[in-house]
Structure 1
Amino acid sequence: MTMRRPRKTPAPTARDTRPARETPEEQPRVLAARLYELHREAGKGEPYLERWPGDAELFGVLTFAQQYANQLKGEAHRKAAVLRMQLAEWLRLAADPFQLSAIDDARAGGTSWKEMALVLRYLNRLGEPNPGSAMNLRKRLYVAVKGRPGDRRQPQVAHLIDRRAMEARIAEAQFIAAGEARYAELDAAARALLKHYEAGEIHADPDDDGFWWEQLTEAVDDRRSASERANLLVYVRGVVRETRAYSKRSGKPPAATEQAGSILEAAARLLDLDADS
């Protein structure tokens, strides 16, 4: 008698490593329109179709489709049920920002987590409110509303989002500080570039819409805040890169005069742009 070898089952995937569940591929309006077509084809002018709420009324569409679900038979009934399921998922996602805002307003108004748990019916086995469950709900909503598409709706991910926000604020502060430190040089470079561009001494693609030059023209005299002054770097970089790109495409030198060429090179050095940038 041969003994059976125990079957090896794959180890369960840790929650942190599983991919996040994505939103439905099709938008609510598309799903609602398909649902209406199923009813229209089956209804053949039935009076109830006149009460269709419109493709944009998500809750109304779901209410209508559920109320008249039995008007459809066979495969149409099955397809409609799947569409309703997807629309309900969209409705749940659409409600997340409202519930998060309501929770935050309630907390700001003095509502305790215990009271919130009682209202939301987060109870333990003894029927007592569980404040931790209410807190975790808030964290999951925070991830859903403030997180990235790939973030899992788990309480611990909320801290990751806060850390990202802090890192973004630090990066922005560093960007502004760097812009402030060399604003005088950037301002001088921007004005010199515009002077030679308007004189026709810096070559530009005649088929281009001149976006970066227009932005630089508008920005150079409108630098009220530190953030706006820091953004001047973006526009100077844009015109230098665009000029170099056109020079490579056309085979022409980037500037028609030696002085204009020197201004371009000085701006590139100020921005730490190499020759290939």
Structure 2
Amino acid sequence: MAKRVRKSTRPTKPLVKAPVRIGSLDAVALVGELRQIHENAEDPDVERMPADDELYGALLYAEKHTDALRTQPPEARRAAALKRVQLWEYLREQSESHQARAVDDAREAGAHWEQLAPALAVNAPSAAYNKAKRLRASTLTDETPQAQPVRRTPEAVLKAERRIVLEQSAERRAQEEAQKRHELLVPVAGRLLEQRDGLVLDEDADYWFEEIAAVLPHCRTPLQMVSLHRYLDAAVRALAKQERQTGRNAALTDGARLALTAAADFLKAAKTEPITP
């Protein structure tokens, strides 16, 4: 019988079981519930328990004063202990992301990996680099629909970071294109509005021209640009519908015809990548 050959696993391949994390948690509310358990047990020192938003101190207090719950039913003691377990796990997850940001700040300030090694409790610069990448895994997600945290390997983190850089680059390009369209939108709409007297407007088209006239003088913000774009699109569509119904051109002058054509061409080009706020 032929010996089965074990296939090597790609270092960036996700784990078989998706990593489970506490994630978002109302830690303040949980500390408040833990405090209530101690108050119900008539803990004589409960007034010394740190505030609900002082998670670390509150957990240390609860750990030190477990004897105060010895007279409580098992259900209450178990609930208190489980809340402590959950809050410590939450604190551990949060500490990873905060430590990762601290490492990033240190690197930006010129710290070398050999300087970070003792701070990260490792013995070599390469180990500091790898540990920093593993910490970064807690702040990154993969490409699955559930957006699970990436595998805690330097290779997986680098792959995720490259993907994020590409996504950010694409987002910047999209914003630049949107800004270019914004810069063209105002003169195109203004030119069409100036030729209003050279256009035959039915009630629908006239309404949208009024909307354009109202927003155009104050068009500065992205949201105002979106509104202007929609009004211009509605006005051009109303004029096109009018021409189909009447069989006559809506433009009565060369200037109006050129302005209407420019607006239609602008809107057609924008449909491939609509303006968004």
Q: Which moved more, 1:175-184 or 1:51-60?
A: 175-184
Q: CA separation of 1:237/1:141 partners in 2, compared to 1, >3 Å: closer, same or farther?
A: farther
- Structure-2 separation of matches of 1:234 and 1:89: 45
Q: Within 5 Å, give how 1:24-35 maps onto structure 2.
A: 24=23, 26-35=25-34
Q: Is the 8 A contact 2:140 2:149 kept in 1?
A: no
String of CA shifts for 1:222-253, please: whole Å, max 9, x gaps: 6xxxxx7xx98755555578x69xx9xxxxxx
Q: Which moved more, 1:147-156 or 1:91-100?
A: 147-156
Q: CA separation of 1:112/1:190 partners in 2, compared to 1, >3 Å: closer, same or farther?
A: same
Q: Is the 8 A contact 2:25 2:90 kept in 1?
A: no
Q: Which moved more, 1:23-32 or 1:186-195?
A: 186-195
Q: Is the 8 A contact 2:34 2:80 kept in 1?
A: yes
For residue 201 of structure 1, the aligned residue among 200, 207, 216 is 207
Paired AA for residue 76 in structure 1: A
Q: Is the 8 A contact 1:54 1:61 kept in 2?
A: yes
Q: Is the 8 A contact 1:179 1:233 kept in 2?
A: no
Partner of 1:137: 131
Q: CA separation of 1:215/1:157 partners in 2, compared to 1, >3 Å: closer, same or farther?
A: farther
- Structure-1 separation of matches of 2:60 and 2:215: 50
- Structure-2 separation of matches of 1:17 and 1:214: 58
Q: Within 5 Å, give how 1:35-54 maps onto structure 2.
A: 35-43=34-42, 46-54=43-51
Give the aligned length. 224
Q: CA separation of 1:177/1:49 partners in 2, compared to 1, >3 Å: closer, same or farther?
A: closer
Q: Within 5 Å, give how 1:187-226 maps onto structure 2.
A: 187-191=186-190, 201-202=207-208, 220-221=219-220
> The residue matched to 1:18 in structure 2 has which SS?
coil
- Structure-2 separation of matches of 1:271 and 1:49: 64
1:58, CA displacement in angstroms?
0.9
> The residue matched to 2:77 in structure 1 has which SS?
helix
- Structure-1 separation of matches of 2:271 and 2:25: 44
1:200, CA displacement in angstroms?
6.8
- The answer to whether 1:68 aligns with 2:65 is yes
TM-score normalised to structure 2 length:
0.61
Q: Is the 8 A contact 1:96 1:144 kept in 2?
A: yes
CA RMSD across the alignment: 4.4
Q: Is the 8 A contact 2:14 2:151 kept in 1?
A: no
- Structure-2 separation of matches of 1:54 and 1:214: 53
Q: CA separation of 1:55/1:173 partners in 2, compared to 1, >3 Å: closer, same or farther?
A: closer
- The answer to whether 1:151 aligns with 2:149 is yes
Q: Which moved more, 1:262-271 or 1:162-171?
A: 262-271
Partner of 2:199: none
- Structure-2 separation of matches of 1:272 and 1:29: 47
- Structure-2 separation of matches of 1:193 and 1:85: 66
Q: Among all aligned residue pairs of Structure 1 and Structure 2, give the percentage whose two residues are the same amino acid.
A: 25
Structure 2 unaligned blocks of 5 or more: 1-8, 197-204, 239-249, 252-259, 273-277
TM-score normalised to structure 1 length:
0.61
1:92, CA displacement in angstroms?
1.7
Q: Which moved more, 1:82-91 or 1:141-150?
A: 141-150
> The residue matched to 1:151 in structure 2 has which SS?
coil
- Structure-2 separation of matches of 1:174 and 1:186: 18
> The residue matched to 1:54 in structure 2 has which SS?
coil
String of CA shifts for 1:181-217, please: whole Å, max 9, x gaps: 5555322245478999xx971299xxxxx9xx99987
Partner of 1:99: 99
> The residue matched to 1:16 in structure 2 has which SS?
coil
1:104, CA displacement in angstroms?
3.2
Paired AA for residue 150 in structure 2: R
